[in-house]
Amino acid sequence: MSGDLPTDPDKRKAMRQLAGEAVKHATRLVPGSRIVENWDGALFQKLYESGMHRNTALPKDFKDMHGRKFFRPPGALFEDKFLDACSRCAKCVVACPENVIFVAREGDGPPVGTPYLKPNHAPCTLCGECMEVCPTGALAKTPVGEIRIGIAVVEPDTCLGYLQKDCKACHEACPLEPNAIDFDATMPKVDSRICTGCGLCVKACPTKPPSIVVLPRPARSKKGDK
């Protein structure tokens, strides 16, 4: 799928604008504590420890832009359409060269037998193999710039950059062009218009637990919301 990333600056700009149109109401360039309403202060540690298995760190009523609070492989349709289309064949699981697509079991969160990701533990490389082999269209073929697994958010209390130390591990790990992570002095900022939620930045973060995690991307704000 890396071939889907255009090298021409005008094409990159167009791709960025197209990707941003779908989430133009999403919060941009802010610490993670403002991404999710009813923020749990221990969210990062819970996400890292639980791997999102039981969704214990998110508000009970939270659903992301895809109608779920867990992570599907790239190209996954909106949840109700996904469940109608997915045959539970596990071809995407077998095809994944990194072995980061899992089949949901009882208690994992997603409906049993369906494929899901744990980007905070096993990042997606955005290779696109899962979309290529999906026989039903449940994982629709999607350009890299439009993939929306989730969104990476930074915990400013533990991030080395927010502590005024020089660290660019998350920026260097980002596979996207333009890069989804930029800096305000030493502080990393995630651009929600670009980030796919692949989780490669989480793996690269040197703090334990990581100071950047992938969250389900919030649904669009209702009219009048800020």
Read off the pTM.
0.75
**Residue 14 has what pLDDT?**
43
In this prediction, residues 24-39 reach a mean pLDDT of 38
pLDDT, tens only, 192-209: 889 999 999 999 999 988
d(CA 49, CA 23): 29
97 belongs to a structural domain? yes
Residue 150 placed within a domain: yes
Question: Is the pLDDT confidence value at 55 over 90?
Answer: no
Q: Is the pLDDT of residue 28 over 90?
A: no
Distance, first Cα to last Cα, the chain: 35
Domain assignment present for residue 27? The answer is yes
Q: What is the mean pLDDT of residues 49-58?
A: 48
**221 belongs to a structural domain:** no
pLDDT one-digit tens code per residue, 138-183 = 999 999 989 999 989 888 888 999 999 999 999 999 999 899 999 9
Ranking 14-28, 127-141, 173-187 by mean pLDDT, the lowest is 14-28
Choose the most confident range, by mean pLDDT, from 43-57, 83-97, 150-164. Answer: 83-97
35 within domain boundaries: yes
- 3-state percent breakdown (helix, strand, coil) of the chain, nearest 5: 25, 10, 65
Question: 138: domain range?
Answer: 2-215
User: Does residue 225 belong to any structural domain of this protein?
Assistant: no
Q: Decide: helix, strand or coil at residue 25.
A: coil
Least confident of 31-35, 87-91, 138-142: 31-35
**184 within domain boundaries:** yes
Tokens 């958010």, located at residue: 153
Domain count, the chain: 1
Mean pLDDT score across all residues of the chain:
78
Q: Is 82 domain-assigned?
A: yes
CA distance 133 to 47: 30
Q: Which of 196, 161, 159 is nearest to 177 (CA)?
A: 196
Q: How many CA atoms lie within 13 A of 151 on its CB side?
A: 28
